[in-house]
Every structure is written in structure tokens, then in C-alpha cells.
Amino acid sequence: MTDSQQETTVLTSQDLAPAQPSSQLLQRYQDSLMGVFGTPQQVLVRGSGARVWDADGREYLDMLGGIAVNALGHAHPLITSVLTSQQATLGHISNLFTSPTQIACAEKLLQLAQAPAGSAVFFANSGSEANEAALKAVLRHRQSSGKGRILALEGSFHGRTLGALSLTHKAAYREPFGELIGGVDFLAPNDISALEAAFADDDVAGVILEPIQGEAGVKPIDDAYLLRVRELTRATGALMVLDEVQTGVGRTGDWFRFQAVADGAAQPDLMTLAKGLGSGFPVGAMVGFGPQASTLLSAGQHGTTFGGNPLATAAALATLHAIETSGLLQNVQQIGAQIATGLQAIPQVTEVRQYGLHIGVDLADIAAPDLVTTARERHGLIINATGEKTLRLAPPLNLTVEEAELFLSRLTSAIADLTASQATSTASKDHS
Ligand SMILES: *Cc1c(COP(=O)(O)O)cnc(C)c1O
């Protein structure tokens, strides 16, 4: 072995990208990254469980979890050891080959989803890509059935790729790009008569929806609505696609949200997953329920280079294993309830929508984006606003009682701080 090869084996990413104060790193960011995300809130350098540290050494309690992704928190030892050993054994092989991890991961997902015989999984790298696969399956069905319409919901978010974007309601995300996939109609969520009317002329190829709308501020879809979608799609041969990218993999206290609805009676034809599935490693999946839904895309009609590689499926297997063997579904229910109770006692909180650790909080008298900034800059707390009035929380599924208490106390201090500074600025305005 040459000297340079030996050196390479002891390099760390810190050697390749040395630490600097946040201000300098953010300047380099401005000069080298595209502005699609605006300015990042902080440069983060290290994490452990529900804590992260920034480049200036400040500690935060992370109640956003990389947007519902870090199911086991930062630097979980199981994920670290499984990924490290997998990378040292076999990292990537392409889908011209398969691996034991890929097969075991597909089997585990089917088992946890209580999928019937003939069900099957397609692995992708992200939520958008899982939804692209589902949309392609719906388009196959549209082509063969001659039924032209695809239904989605107002308030939906299905991703930023062109197909997923066609199904995403927010005009500001779609309209800059002109024509997307045609034939998509957006219905008002939970309006059963509008749903029935949309099916009246038997021209629906598929319906795609989130069981709880995450980006819209954790807005639940009624059980009755989900069941009616299931009945109507079944009766007309249309496909029901549930986007469980945010709600799936234990986030709401069930493995998948549809399992909490009427004992699984709203089991879809296709379900998409990503976010928490790899506990931080990028991995997405589409689950087809039953042989018909699982064979809509035949050999050659879809594919991916990275999707389902040994590293990604090892991360997913380890995540599912940890949730199952550490009783995390139960923890999610308990800690979620603890947080909801605490939030309800805060005067500025007008509504809490809590489904396990998938939590939306409506506020009065203070702007949610201002609270996010104050909490982060002055109270060591990372939270997220989905709108002017609404916070979203998506902490790790293994959050502890003590961490939940710490969250409530830091949030309360941040609210008091913001309220006091608003009072001061109003008072100084009155003087001027
Ligand atoms: C985040 C999200 C997506 C998009 O996932 P990406 O990994 O960002 O492509 C799609 N659907 C839902 C419900 C999401 O929350």
C-alpha cells in the first residue's frame, strides 16, 4: 500500500470540510449554492439523539428531526453500526443485481403493512420519487381504462418533481412551471359530496391523498372520507394511492396511518413512504397491495439507479428493527400525549392536532415564523412553521419524557420572550 492510500483511510469529513464560524460558512454557502432554499437558518455540525450543535458551539433541542426524517434521532448507534458495516461489505450494486438487505427490507415492509399475498415493493430515494412511481402506475391504469381524471386534494403536498408537483395543490409551487401532468382535479378535503360528484360520470383513474396533510399544518383527513374514497375507488376500479411519506413508519403511533382507520379498512392500492424510513439515510418506497396494484408497472416501465441499494435498505431495516424492538410505537403515543397536554396549557395555543409525534399547533397573538426564530436564536429550540399561525413538530420517535418537558419549558420561555419584545416594540411605537 502506498503512503497516500494509507492517509486516505484515516481522513474524516471534518478533514475534508474543516469547521469555521457560522458567519464564514454562510458566506461560502451564498457564494456556492443555489438560492432555492433561501438562507439556511444555521450551520449544524454535530448531533446526538434529539440534540444538535451549530458551528459556533450552540446546542439545540431538535423538535423538527430533519422534517420528520430522523426517526431515531441523530447519530443513533444502531444506524451508525449497520451503515458502517454495510458500507464496509457492499455499498451499491445497481438494480441489475439484488442483495439480502433489499429483499429482507421489502419483506419486512409488507409484513408490517399487513399486505396480502401478491403484494410487492418498489424502492426509490425520496418521497417525490416514490410518488412519481405511484403516478406512473396511475397513468398506466388511465391509459388502459380510458378513464381520464386523477383526483388530489386541496392543501396537498406530494413533492417537487414534475409528476409529484402536478398533484401538489399550492399554486406558488406549480404555476412557475406552466403545463404539468393534465387531468388532475383538486377537491376540498373531507367534502364527501364533492368526492361523490367527482365520481358521478365514472371517469376517475385514481385518487392520491395524504391521510394527514403534513405541509398543510398536520390537517387530518376524516376516517369517513378515507373510507368513502376506498369504497368509490373499489366500486369503479380506480386506484387509491395513500401518500404516507410523512405519516408512515411509526410517526403517528401506528406503523402506517391507514392502519388506525377502521381497522385497516382504508388499505390503499398503493402506499408511498420515505422521510423516516431510513432514519436520515435517503430512501423511499412504494408498496403495492395485492397482485393487481403490484404489477401495474411491468419490466422496463420504471427504474432507478440508486433506489433500494444495500446501504439504503440496511438503514431502513435497522430503523424498522429499532422501532419494533424498542417499543417506539408506544413511546410515540405516550410522549405525543404528554406534549399535547403541555401545549394545551399554553394560553397562546388555540388548537393542537396531535397524532403520535406528528403534531400541528395553531397560535393566536404571535406569528409562528417569529416564534421559530426566537426559539432558535435565544432558547436553543428547533421547531418549524407551516404557515403564519401554525407550528409543526416532528421530533425523533425515541424522544424521552425529560426531552418533552425540556421542549415545553423552552417553548414557554420563547413565547414569553416574544410576547415581551412585542409589548416593548408596541410601547416604543406609541411613544414615537
Ligand atoms: C416530504 C413529502 C414529500 C416529498 O418527499 P421528498 O423526499 O422531499 O421528495 C411527499 N409527500 C409528503 C406527504 C411529504 O411530506
Instruction: Tell me the pLDDT tens digit for each residue of 10-64.
Output: 899 999 999 999 999 999 999 999 999 998 999 999 999 999 999 999 999 999 9
170: which strand partners?
Answer: none
Ligand 1 centroid from CA 261, angstroms: 22
The span from the CA of 415 to the CA of 236, in Å, is: 51
Residue 5, pLDDT > 80, answer no
Collapsed DSSP state (helix, strand, coil) of residue 10: coil
Give the ligand 1 atom nearest the CA of 161: 9
Query: How far, in Å, is the centroid of ligand 1 from the Cα of 83?
Result: 23
Would strands 349-355 and 384-385 be described as parallel, antiparallel, or unpaired?
unpaired
Q: What percent of the chain has pLDDT over 90?
A: 94
Please report which residue ranges of 93-161 form alpha helices under DSSP H: 100-112, 127-145
Type of residue numbered 342: G
CATH architecture of 3-70+327-431: Alpha-Beta Complex (3.90)
Query: Could you tell me the residue ranges of all domains in the chain?
Result: 3-70+327-431, 79-325
- If you measure from the C-alpha of residue 196 to the centroid of ligand 1, how many angstroms do you get, rounded to a whole number? 27
**Residue 128 Cβ < 6 Å to ligand 1:** yes
Task: Indicate the residue type of 299.
Answer: A
The 10 Å Cβ neighbour count of residue 67 is: 14
What is the sign of the dihedral through the CA atoms of 38, 44, 47 and 50?
negative
Q: Which three cell numbers stand for residue 391?
A: 407550528
Residue 268 has pLDDT above 80, yes or no: yes
pLDDT at 314 over 90: yes
We find that the CATH architecture of domain 79-325 is 3-Layer(aba) Sandwich (3.40)
**Residue where the block lists cell 497516500:** 4
Q: DSSP assignment of 205-239, as one string?
A: EEEEE-SEETTTTSEEPPHHHHHHHHHHHHHHT-E
Q: Is the CB of 66 under 6 A from ligand 1?
A: no
Distance CA 26, CA 424 (A): 31
Quick one: residue 161, left, alpha or beta (phi over 0 = left, psi -120 to 50 = alpha)? beta
For ligand 1, mutation pick of 70, 213, 246, 306 (most atoms within 8 Å of CB): 246
Strand extents, DSSP E, 317-416: 349-355, 358-363, 381-382, 384-385, 390-393
Regarding the beta carbon of 159 and ligand 1, being less than 6 Å apart is answered yes
- Check whether 121 has a pLDDT greater than 80: yes
Residue 64: Cβ-neighbour burial (10 angstroms; 0-12, 13-18, 19+):
buried
Q: What is the DSSP string of 141-208?
A: HHHHH---EEEEETT----SSHHHHHT---HHHHGGG---SSSEEEE-TT-HHHHHHHTTTS-EEEEE
Kind plus residue range of the DSSP H or E element containing 286: strand 284-288
Rounded CA-CA distance 84/99 in Å is 17
Alpha-carbon distance of 171 to 177, in angstroms, equals 10
Give the type of residue at 39. Answer: T
pLDDT digits (tens, 9 = 90+) for 149-162: 999 999 999 999 99
Closest ligand 1 atom number to CA of residue 244: 13
**What would you report as the CA-atom Rg of the chain, rounded to the nearest whole angstrom?**
23
What is the model's pLDDT at position 430?
A: 57
- Predicted local confidence at residue 148, as pLDDT: 96
For the CA of 129, the closest atom of ligand 1 is: 9
Residue 1: the pLDDT is: 44
Cα 182 to Cα 133, 199, 232, 278, 336, distances in angstroms: 17, 18, 22, 33, 40
pLDDT band at 428 (very low <50, low <70, confident <90, very high): low
Q: Which of 8-17, 264-273, 317-326, 356-365 has the lowest mean pLDDT?
A: 8-17
According to the model, what pLDDT value does residue 273 have? Answer: 98
C-alpha–C-alpha distance, residues 423 and 351, integer Å: 24
> Could you tell me if the CB of 253 is within 6 A of ligand 1?
no
Read off the DSSP letter of residue 347: T
Q: Which three cell numbers stand for residue 72?
A: 431515531
Average pLDDT over residues 300-312: 97
Ligand 1 atom 15 nearest Cα: 246
Section 172-183 average pLDDT: 95
Residue 285 C-alpha to ligand 1 middle, in angstroms? 12
Identify the helix (H) or strand (E) that includes residue 63.
Answer: none
Distance between start and end Cα atoms, the chain: 74
Which atom of ligand 1 lies nearest, measured to the CA of 131? 10
Which pLDDT does position 61 carry in this prediction? 98
Average pLDDT over residues 163-177: 96
Q: pLDDT tier at 432 (50, 70, 90 boundaries)?
A: very low
Region label for 289, one of left (φ > 0), alpha (ψ between -120 and 50) or beta (otherwise): beta
**Which residue of 245, 273, 277 sits with most ligand 1 atoms within 8 Å of its CB, as the best mutation to test the pocket?**
245
Angle CA(297)–CA(182)–CA(120) in degrees, nearest 5? 20
Mean pLDDT calculated for residue range 318-347? 98
- Closest atom of ligand 1 to 284 CA is 7
